[in-house]
Structure 1
């Protein structure tokens, strides 16, 4: 079983929520252009996460999708909140359309303004395309429709995604490949290709860091392939003459600490922290030498915790682990 097979649903929720928060305009422009044209983007937009949590607090725990509520200004001057349900893990769900309607009427009832519900379907079942919720009984009838975007439909337009100037095209490509590719080597090669494309587009440093983070979290690799991925990224950076190495290493390390500690709670704390530290050492210093492997294998919980905290500032593996 690979690392991506054991990832929790929240491993995918966070990159999607981050992508939607920072690139909401680009998201609508790519996937919902008609909606995009109705918004006054010069007024900006406001994420409303706390308000959405109040509406969805009683929803079933462990559901495999990410929610985002955004407040925007319509071009005609009317405020419009946009509720976005993103099925980041792509599992078809019989009750999906009904849930979309439930959140729609709860939001409208609570805030008394127009609500537009959008759905992004990231699963790979072509037949799963919910667009409407209907209910009828004894002459009383209700019909609620909502726009949807099926990501696998973009596979036929892959060259268009690769050529797109829209930054959200990279997010869509990463999600599609994360779902389609199961074999580790293929995932690694595809991830490297997306990172190369990211660098070739000439984005500013902050943009590269943010998109690198999203892609890195979406397409997870087996532990044994992480060193090859890191080496490939270094090669791309040197080729493009972009001095972002230290920042990207730090970003990957910080993300690895968060993910690894979460997994540690599931697998057993010692095993989880040790596995995380091994990955972080590989990311920063390269392949693990035999002496370091022995040090990690015999370390106490306290030692592991100290090394995880110190790795960001350590300038060498000898300094970090105290080679004797």
Structure 2
């Protein structure tokens, strides 16, 4: 199954937006008043020339400290290489400015698994006139050395270790450091599960690597080792429960498609009719 990169990054950034800005753009963070943060509905643009539709990844409304007017922050995650990306960022900017008529801060996250010097500007000019120099903030994750972030208390850094620059032979150590970072952070269970789910989507160890990882955790010892092991076991158990529930939902849907009644399904699965009805209504 293909990874929905945009959905994963949107969920991560919506949950930890201030932390993202603080980590990569501290000079911006000091100016933003995060008390007025609100996430706007998705914007869908049609490229008439190309005949394609584009959806803005993330749009945030907020204010600058000490200023009355609102600003719009547009964050775009780019998970594949595209030579025309700066032009697309400019088109998004111009459409957003046309609608909101306020200051707009464009930010791009390059999250693909290659190292490449990405431009962060779009220029329109003639030999006799410089018409436009459009610029946007950018972070190229693969260029970030993951070891520079392992002392960070920032949860966004924890998740994004999975997209930073590491070698294949560092994957076990990467996962170990991820969990060490995680247990140091005072965040609730739902956010922890979000970070683990994001990390493990992009860093999938082989059986041999997973065995090596488990051995490394056992060697840690002390309170830290116990906390890491408890977190791993808890996540795996809840993942199995969630997987079993999803299989049951799929089974109920197939039974409905075959013409079985809610009463028959409830009897076969030893569930109440209300439980089965909720699954059916959710799928419809």
Output the TM-score relative to the length of structure 2: 0.69
Q: Does 1:86 align with 2:80?
A: no
What are the ranges of 5 or more consecutive residues in structure 2 without an aligned counterpart? 256-264, 270-284
Q: Which residue of 2 aligns with 1:48?
A: 40
Structure 1 residue 205 and structure 2 residue 192: aligned? no
The residue correspondences of 1:59-70 to structure 2 (distance < 5 A) are: 67-70=57-60
Report the equivalent of 1:239. Answer: 226
CA offsets 1:30-84 (integer angstroms, 9 cap, x no match): 11112211210122x222242x2x2368788799x98211111221222111001
Residues 14-163 of structure 1: pairs in structure 2 closer than 5 A: 14-43=7-36, 45-50=37-42, 52=43, 54-55=44-45, 67-75=57-65, 76-87=67-78, 89=79, 91-123=80-112, 125-137=114-126, 139=129, 141-155=131-145, 158-163=146-151
Distance in 2 (alpha carbons) for counterparts of 1:196 and 1:69: 32
CA–CA distance in structure 2, aligned partners of residues 147 and 112 of structure 1: 20
Segments of 5+ residues of structure 1 without an aligned counterpart are 1-6, 261-272, 278-300, 311-324
Shift of 1:21: 0.3
Are 2:161 and 1:169 equivalent residues in the alignment? no
* Partner Cα separation in structure 2 for residue 108 and residue 226 of structure 1: 49
Secondary structure of 2:117's match?
Answer: coil
Quote how far apart the aligned CAs of 1:242 are.
4.8
For these two proteins, the number of residue pairs brought into alignment is 245
Confirm or deny that 1:8 pairs with 2:18.
no
Asked if the contact 1:209–1:248 (Cα under 8 Å) also holds between the matched residues in 2, the reply is no
Structure 1 segment 172-187 matched on structure 2, within 5 A: 172-176=160-164, 180=166, 187=171
Q: In 2 relative to 1, CA 213–230 (structure 1 residues): closer, same or farther, beyond 3 Å?
A: farther
State the distance in 2 between where 1:102 and 1:203 align: 38
More helix per residue: 1
Q: Secondary structure at the match of 2:68?
A: coil
C-alpha distance in structure 2 between counterparts of 1:232 and 1:61, whole Å: 50
Greater relative contact order (CA < 8 Å, ≥ 6 in sequence) = 1
Rg comparison, structure with higher value: 2
Structure 1 contact 67–85 (Cα < 8 Å) conserved: yes
Alignment partners' CA distance in 2, 1:201 and 1:32: 21
State how far apart, in whole Å, the 1-side matches of 2:39 and 2:238 are. Answer: 27
